Structure 1
Amino acid sequence: MNTFALICAAFVVLSLLILLYPLFRHDKNTAADVDDVRRARYQLHDSVVAELQADVANARLSESEYAASLAEAEARLIAEVGRLEAVSDEKKPLSGKSQQLTLSLIGIGLPLLAALLYFQLGNPAALNPANRAAPDVAASAIVDAAKIEGMVKSLEAKMALEPDNTKGWLMLARSYRTLARYDDAVKAYEKAWPEVQKDAGEIARFAGSLAVRDNSFAGRPTQLLAKALEMNASEPDALMLAGSAALQRGDPAMTIYWWDKLLALLEPGSEDAKWLAEEIRLVKEGASAASAPKQAEKP
């Protein structure tokens, strides 16, 4: 049973205890308390009657006044004793059959009703751990892409009204890169150049977008990478792309040079470091294999 089901069961048990406690509780002092109050009320009535009789004997009350006062005292006694009887009846515990029926309705009916409602309105499949094995990465990516598309549309509308907003164009360029819209990214980077030229990382990413769009690092992308590395010789994106540019133009030595510098910046043992180390190894193997035939041709 999973944690969610255990928590639900605990709440059901707690609710039942709260609801059923008054049925199990029987105040043994209730009857005695009512009898004591009733006895005291009768004693008070007797003392009132005795005082009325003394007043008649001492000529302080006439017979008619005595009769009226006695009738009033007896009416008050009957009314108060009646209220005591009503209170006593209210506090009596349920009879055996009534109590059993009530317990059955609450103890069985309430959990059953809750379960039926959950299976009708809830998601019973979620209780199965197998159905919660892992998030749907593809669905999550689709949702993220949809969110970015929505933000891009809003930003595009904003930039149509603010064409001189270079920070806005830079934000739009980053969004285009995320969506792999490299042609649009390049155009946005161009309009954001006053902001781009201040940051070596943004210059490198601009160069990368150009290289992907043109399928080549030749020309401006390489020039931009040189500018980025001049500004910051440890810029990771610039080092990575400089190595890729060197590999594309057939210069494995420079590829290894740039990527070794990048590898030194990465956390040892991290996934990125392992991946880059493997790429460097493959480049070295390729360079060795390429140089072997040339050595064999020498006399």
Structure 2
Amino acid sequence: MNPFSLFAIICTLMVVITLAALIWPLLRGRSQAGDIRRARYALHDTILAELDEDLRYGRLSESDHAIARIEAESRLINEVGHASSTLNERSARGLVIGLLLILPLAAGGLYFKLGTPTALDLSTRQRPNVGPNEIAAMVKKLEARMVLEPNDQKGWLMLARSYRSQARYTEAISAYEKAWPAIEKDAGEIARFAGVLAIEQKSFKGKPTDLLVKSLSVNASEPDALMLAGSAAVERGDKAAAKEWWNKLLILLEVGSEDEQWLKEEIRLLDKPRDAVK
């Protein structure tokens, strides 16, 4: 378990425990307040019944009876009226919601203040130094898994990428073929499959070119496909087509970047006579 996961679990437990400790008295207090309100409503009903009885037996005039009822209603409203009870419920609800928001934010703020906030950013995490031996071991594990799960297309794609990174192109081609259903709509992976085939057969003729056409039909702005399509055109001796593909790629590159400068140089060299290129 990584440190951030452990931190998240601890924070969650702390929030749950703290909220339970704070909310339980609130809920219990609201229950007690409800009992008090019910008792006062019962007392109010008793008072009204007595006033009605006094009026019936002539102990109160109608005007005095009306005034007494108004006073009783006013007293009830002041003690446990609708406005007061609504305010209390809203206050309790607001406090609970406030706690739900404030505690996690406070925990997160504390982490960012005292902890290691860069650990939250995947792009800033340092990857362990993985050497050739470690990579080979991981590939062997993946190969063993694929023996047991031959229908796992995403597993074959992972293996194809691993083989490609190890320059094991023949095996990469086989893995890409088994992963085809998982990449047939992925312009980038189709283009990389074409590149592996072209390297293995030392030419873009045939299937590599077909795959590049497929890749560009899925995404006409796929950088790898545009780069390889230009290379395939150079191989055919079609400099105009090569310049067209690479100029499309040039638009996608960051202005002033090394990739842009390199590609501009490659395009410039296309206009030079072959014996003038050194």
TM-score normalised according to structure 2 size:
0.51
Q: Which amino acid aligns with 1:223?
A: D
Distance 1:263 1:144 in 2: 34
Deviation per CA, 1:85-119: give whole Å up to 9, x if none.
xxxxxxxxxxxxxxxxxxxxxxxxxxxxxxxxxxx
Unaligned runs of 5+ in 2: 1-128
Structure 2 residue aligned with 1:273: 260
Kindly indicate whether the alpha-carbon contact (under 8 Å) linking 2:173 and 2:197 is maintained by their aligned counterparts in 1.
yes
Structure 2 residue aligned with 1:146: 133
Distance 2:145 2:137 in 1: 13
1:286 Cα deviation (Å)? 3.4
Write out aligned runs for 1:41-52 (5 A).
none
Write out aligned runs for 1:190-201 (5 A).
190-201=177-188
Deviation beyond 4 Å, 4+ runs, structure 1: 287-290
1:147 Cα deviation (Å)? 2.5
The alignment yields a C-alpha RMSD, in angstroms, of 2.1
Distance 1:188 1:249 in 2: 28
Distance 2:178 2:231 in 1: 26
Correspondence 1:251 to 2:228: no
Write out aligned runs for 1:96-175 (5 A).
143-175=130-162
1:145 Cα deviation (Å)? 2.7
- SS of aligned partner of 2:139: helix
Distance 1:182 1:218 in 2: 17
1:283 Cα deviation (Å)? 1.2
Structure 2 residue aligned with 1:225: 212
Distance 2:145 2:217 in 1: 34
Distance 1:268 1:187 in 2: 38
Distance 1:145 1:241 in 2: 28
Structure 2 residue corresponding to 1:207, chosen from 180, 189, 194:
194
1:240 Cα deviation (Å)? 0.4
Choose 147-156 or 234-243, whichever is displaced more: 147-156
1:284 Cα deviation (Å)? 1.8
Distance 1:282 1:183 in 2: 32
Write out aligned runs for 1:180-195 (5 A).
180-195=167-182
Distance 1:281 1:145 in 2: 38
TM-score normalised according to structure 1 size:
0.48
1:143 Cα deviation (Å)? 4.8
Distance 2:192 2:226 in 1: 11
Deviation per CA, 1:194-251: give whole Å up to 9, x if none.
0110201111011111100000100111011001101101000000000000001111
Structure 2 residue aligned with 1:109: none
Kindly indicate whether the alpha-carbon contact (under 8 Å) linking 1:176 and 1:184 is maintained by their aligned counterparts in 2.
yes
Distance 1:148 1:220 in 2: 30
Deviation per CA, 1:125-147: give whole Å up to 9, x if none.
xxxxxxxxxxxxxxxxx953332
1:182 Cα deviation (Å)? 0.6
Distance 1:278 1:237 in 2: 18
Distance 1:266 1:145 in 2: 31
1:289 Cα deviation (Å)? 7.1
Distance 2:273 2:182 in 1: 40
Q: Which amino acid aligns with 2:181?
A: P
Q: Which amino acid aligns with 1:199?
A: D
Q: Which amino acid aligns with 2:148?
A: L
Kindly indicate whether the alpha-carbon contact (under 8 Å) linking 1:252 and 1:287 is maintained by their aligned counterparts in 2.
no
- SS of aligned partner of 2:272: helix
Q: Which amino acid aligns with 1:271?
A: E
Distance 2:258 2:213 in 1: 27
Kindly indicate whether the alpha-carbon contact (under 8 Å) linking 1:177 and 1:209 is maintained by their aligned counterparts in 2.
yes
Indicate the percent of aligned positions where both proteins have the same amino acid: 64
Aligned residues: 150
